[in-house]
């Protein structure tokens, strides 16, 4: 049986772009992306493509080409489940904020709701695909829920983790390093493989057992994040020894056994997945009593928290040990460039620390709304919403953010920051004018020549 109808539950950063690319390359398949969030679905259906809920280079063009042809966005979850032969589960799997495993385990309540929804509605056989990142052996729980639905519908479970990175999602989806499919049933595996094969070379489609597939996703994120924490740890040594972390990264990256990617020292990694997935791995290790393994991976998070804190400590110390009443301009709020996603962005934690020291913060980000910035700070619960509003202004023009600032903190590596007229900015700031470049984005010697007191990471 070839697949004619696909349903994807979860219209987020993964569900949206992934299904758009599958739809583009499989015009013979109808895909419906469903979500309980009606506002999000309405935004996906907005005729103004600049209002899509997710900013991702190249996404709006693909949505334009496929939407209402073979790609549909809907809140009618049951109908989409009913008519599809294959159902992707692409809902969020955040870190638990309550109960057993609080602050560490993955919260699987949304996954379970999806499984129960599918079990209740399905009248014909279904292939259920785990697209969300899940703890190893989650497929067992999903299967148990589905198989106890009381019907004689046959469910095949596949694990098909997603490796796209935000900001390059479309490029990553169009040219993936690999597509990973874990499963038991050859029929189910080959049904999914054939969908990818419409644009992905066969030798990049990897088949494994379900558990290897689930665990590979957590492992990939843990290894990637570990590289960043490793280079960030070296950045601190550089700052004490006059070694330069960019030079060190280049020198070690040219060793083909190490490789050059993911060695950019920064203010710390953010994003919705690295921290969550490593904590998840740590929790799994602890649940098997593998305490040394748990401690080993937890150190990646500890190092990352240290890097964020170290950045704001250094800023405060350099500004004569106080930022009280001083204007600090933050350039960038998203967790990396080319995305409007702010989840776990280092900027949130740095701003929170500076606010606790009574700084006045002015933020400019090309793609993040002021409402989102306030929501992110309010979510931490450090102070009241009113206090956050008083302490943080969000501006639409970078130059507004910089007038009379005591210091600039570069939090995100947006390309446009490099093109600013830094000489004019210098004249508008309080003197001495400080830059804390959390992304090593600007040219150090140029900034010093203009007159800035310039601080970067690991240099």
Ligand X SMILES: NC(=O)C1=CN([C@@H]2O[C@H](COP(=O)(O)OP(=O)(O)OC[C@H]3O[C@@H](n4cnc5c(N)ncnc54)[C@H](O)[C@@H]3O)[C@@H](O)[C@H]2O)C=CC1
Is 334 near ligand X (CB under 6 A)?
Answer: no
Name the minimum Å distance from CB 366 to ligand UGA.
Answer: 15
Q: Is 211 in the site for ligand X (CB under 6 A)?
A: no
Phi, psi of 15 (to 5 degrees): -55, -50
Q: How many CB atoms lie within 10 A of CB 149?
A: 16
**Which of 7, 8, 238, 273 is flagged as catalytic?**
273
Q: What is the dihedral of CA 222, 112, 167, 435, to 10 degrees?
A: -60
With CB under 6 A as the contact rule, the residue among 90, 312, 412, 459 that binds ligand X is 90
Site for ligand UGA, rule CB under 6 A: 133, 162-166, 221, 224, 228, 262-264, 266, 269-271, 273-274, 335-336
Task: Map tokens 């693909």 to a residue.
Answer: 62
Cβ atoms of 182 and 159 closer than 8 Å: yes
What does 110 bind: ligand X, ligand UGA, none (CB cut-off 5 to 8 Å by kind)? ligand X
The H helix count followed by the E strand count for the chain is 18, 14
Applying CB under 6 A, the span of 28-36, 241-249, 258-266, 447-455 interacting with ligand X comes to 28-36
Determine if 262 is a binding residue for ligand X (CB under 6 A).
no
In the three-class reduction of DSSP (H, G, I as helix; E, B as strand; rest coil), residue 292 is classed as helix
114 contacts which partner out of ligand UGA, ligand X, none, CB within 5 to 8 A by kind?
Answer: ligand X
Q: Quick one: 270 or 458, whose CB is closer to ligand UGA?
A: 270
Is 344 labelled as part of a ligand binding site? no
Q: Which does 366 bind (CB under 5 to 8 A by kind): ligand X, ligand UGA, none?
A: none
Residues 393 to 412 in contact with ligand X, rule: CB under 6 A: none
**Residue 162 near ligand X by CB under 6 A:** yes
Q: Which residue number, 169 or 408, has a Cβ lying nearer to ligand X?
A: 169
C-alpha span between 254 and 53 (Å, rounded): 39
> Closest separation between CB of residue 85 and ligand UGA, Å?
26
For 62, list phi and psi in degrees, rounded to 5: -70, -40
217 is in an annotated binding site: yes
262 marked as binding residue: no
Task: Find all residues with CB under 8 Å of 70, minimum gap 6, and list them.
Answer: 23, 26, 27, 28, 29, 30, 31
Residues from 40 through 59 that contact ligand X (CB under 6 A): 40
Q: Considering the complex, what minimum distance in angstroms separates the CB of residue 38 from ligand X?
A: 10
Phi/psi for 93 (5° steps) reads -130, 65
**What distance in Å separates the CA atoms of residue 3 and residue 5, rounded to the nearest whole number?**
6
Q: How far apart are CA 371 and CA 263, in angstroms?
A: 33
Tell me the closest approach of the beta carbon of residue 279 to ligand UGA, in angstroms.
Answer: 13
Choice between 84 and 440, CB closer to ligand UGA: 440
| DSSP secondary structure letters along 132-179 | S---TTHHHHHHHHHHTSSS---EEEEE------TTSHHHHHHS-S-E
For the stretch 332-361, what's the b/e string if a residue is b when 16 or more beta carbons lie within 10 angstroms of its beta carbon? bbbbbbbbbbbbbbbbbbbbbbbbebebbb
Residue 221 interacts, among ligand X, ligand UGA, none and using kind-specific CB cut-offs from 5 to 8 Å, with ligand UGA
| Catalytic residue status for 394 | no
**Residue 14 marked ligand-binding:** yes
Known binding residues are 10-15, 35, 40, 91-95, 132-133, 162-166, 217-221, 257, 264-270, 273-276, 335-336, 343, 439
Site residues (CB under 6 A) for ligand X? 9-15, 34-37, 40, 77, 90-93, 110, 113-114, 132-133, 162, 164, 166, 272-273
């Amino acid at each position: 049986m070839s697949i004619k109808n696909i349903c994807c539950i979860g219209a987020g950063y993964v569900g949206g772009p992934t299904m758009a690319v599958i739809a583009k390359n499989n015009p013979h398949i109808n895909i419906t992306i469903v979500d309980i969030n009606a506002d999000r679905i309405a935004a996906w259906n907005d005729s103004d493509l600049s209002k899509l809920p997710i900013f991702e280079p190249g996404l709006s063009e693909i949505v334009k080409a496929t939407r209402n042809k073979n790609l549909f966005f809907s809140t009618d979850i049951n109908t989409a489940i009913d008519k599809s032969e294959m159902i992707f589960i692409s809902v969020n799997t955040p870190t638990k904020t309550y109960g057993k495993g609080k602050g560490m385990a993955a919260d699987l309540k949304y996954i379970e709701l999806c499984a129960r929804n599918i079990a209740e509605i399905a009248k014909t056989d279904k292939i259920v695909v785990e697209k969300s990142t899940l703890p190893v052996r989650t497929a067992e729980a999903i299967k148990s829920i589905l198989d106890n639905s009381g019907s004689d519908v046959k469910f095949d479970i596949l694990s098909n983790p997603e490796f796209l990175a935000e900001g390059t999602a479309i490029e990553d989806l169009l040219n993936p390093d690999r597509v990973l499919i874990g499963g038991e049933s050859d029929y189910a595996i080959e049904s999914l493989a054939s969908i990818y094969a419409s644009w992905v070379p066969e030798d990049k489609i990897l088949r494994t057992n379900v558990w290897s597939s689930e665990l590979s996703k957590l492992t990939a994120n843990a290894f990637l994040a570990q590289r960043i924490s490793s280079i960030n740890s070296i950045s601190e040594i550089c700052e004490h020894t006059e070694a330069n972390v960019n030079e060190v990264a280049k020198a070690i990256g040219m060793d083909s056994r190490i490789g050059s990617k993911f060695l950019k020292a920064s203010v710390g990694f953010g994003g919705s997945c690295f921290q969550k997935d490593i904590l998840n791995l740590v929790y799994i290790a602890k649940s098997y009593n593998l305490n040394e393994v748990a401690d080993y991976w937890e150190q990646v998070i500890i190092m990352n928290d240290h890097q964020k804190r170290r950045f704001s400590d250094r800023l405060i110390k350099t500004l004569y040990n106080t930022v009280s009443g001083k204007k600090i301009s933050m350039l960038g709020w998203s967790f990396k460039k080319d995305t409007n996603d702010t989840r776990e962005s280092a900027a949130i934690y740095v701003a929170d620390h500076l606010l606790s020291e009574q700084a006045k913060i002015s933020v400019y980000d090309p793609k993040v709304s002021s409402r989102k910035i306030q929501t992110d700070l309010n979510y931490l619960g450090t102070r009241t919403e009113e206090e956050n509003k008083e302490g943080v202004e969000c501006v639409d023009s970078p130059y507004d953010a910089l007038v009379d600032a005591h210091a600039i903190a570069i939090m995100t590596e947006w390309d446009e920051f490099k093109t600013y007229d830094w000489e004019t900015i210098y004249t508008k700031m309080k003197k001495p004018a400080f830059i804390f470049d959390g992304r090593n984005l600007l040219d150090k010697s140029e900034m010093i020549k203009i007159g800035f007191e310039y601080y970067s990471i690991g240099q």
